[in-house]
């Protein structure tokens, strides 16, 4: 029973991590471009995945410790996180219904390894949204699983590694699919409902 519970929490972390990371953005577009050009792919994917992992672990460990000394912070973050998830889900659904966005590779001159890595790290660490997703949001959700935060964090970290490396190395195969706006509409719809389900669980204290 305990193993099944751990796997369920791990799955929740995995699903939540993937849901937050699949949105079209500068970082993902950069990884896709590198994958299509077969240029420093492993380093770029690893840098993004490790950065995400570090922020996820920070959120899971730090928010839990702070909540022990500031009990009022837990409900504030829980309801705040739920509100954000509802808004994020609505935003994704709106994008699915109205947007014609699609990932494109983009054309650029060949960059050195140092330039490429610096760009990758800047897109990751200088983006305020990444801290909200990983440290605040995932850290808050992890408090719903007392004593099992490690399983949740492991799932979220796994999601980051799976997505970044799949996007980087599967770019050539993914391009024909995700160059179509309809594919991203389906993905955004899935993200929207996933966000709402997690928000419901947060509000229910599950």
Nearest to 155 by CA among 5, 17, 3, 2: 17
Q: How confident is the model at residue 136 (pLDDT cuts 50, 70, 90)?
A: confident
pLDDT above 70 covers a percentage of the chain that reads 84
pLDDT tens-digit map of 21-43:
876 566 787 888 788 778 899 99
């Amino acid at each position: 029973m305990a193993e099944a519970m751990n796997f369920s929490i791990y799955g929740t972390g995995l699903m939540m991590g993937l849901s937050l990371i699949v949105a079209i953005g500068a970082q993902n577009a950069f990884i896709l471009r590198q994958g299509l050009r077969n240029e420093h792919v492993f380093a770029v994917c690893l840098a993004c995945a490790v950065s995400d992992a570090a922020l996820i672990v920070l959120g899971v460990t730090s928010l839990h410790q702070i909540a022990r000394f500031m009990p009022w912070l837990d409900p504030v973050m829980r309801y705040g996180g739920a509100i954000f998830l509802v808004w994020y889900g609505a935003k994704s659904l709106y994008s699915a219904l109205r947007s014609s966005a699609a990932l494109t590779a983009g054309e650029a001159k060949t960059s050195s390894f140092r330039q490429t890595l610096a760009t990758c790290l800047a897109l990751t660490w200088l983006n305020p949204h990444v801290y909200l997703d990983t440290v605040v949001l995932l850290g808050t959700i992890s408090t719903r699983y007392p004593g099992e935060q490690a399983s949740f964090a492991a799932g979220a970290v796994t999601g980051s590694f799976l997505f970044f490396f799949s996007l980087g190395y599967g770019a050539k195969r993914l391009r024909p699919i995700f160059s179509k706006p309809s594919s991203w509409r389906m993905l955004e719809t899935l993200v929207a409902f996933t966000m709402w389900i997690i928000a419901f669980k947060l509000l229910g204290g599950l």
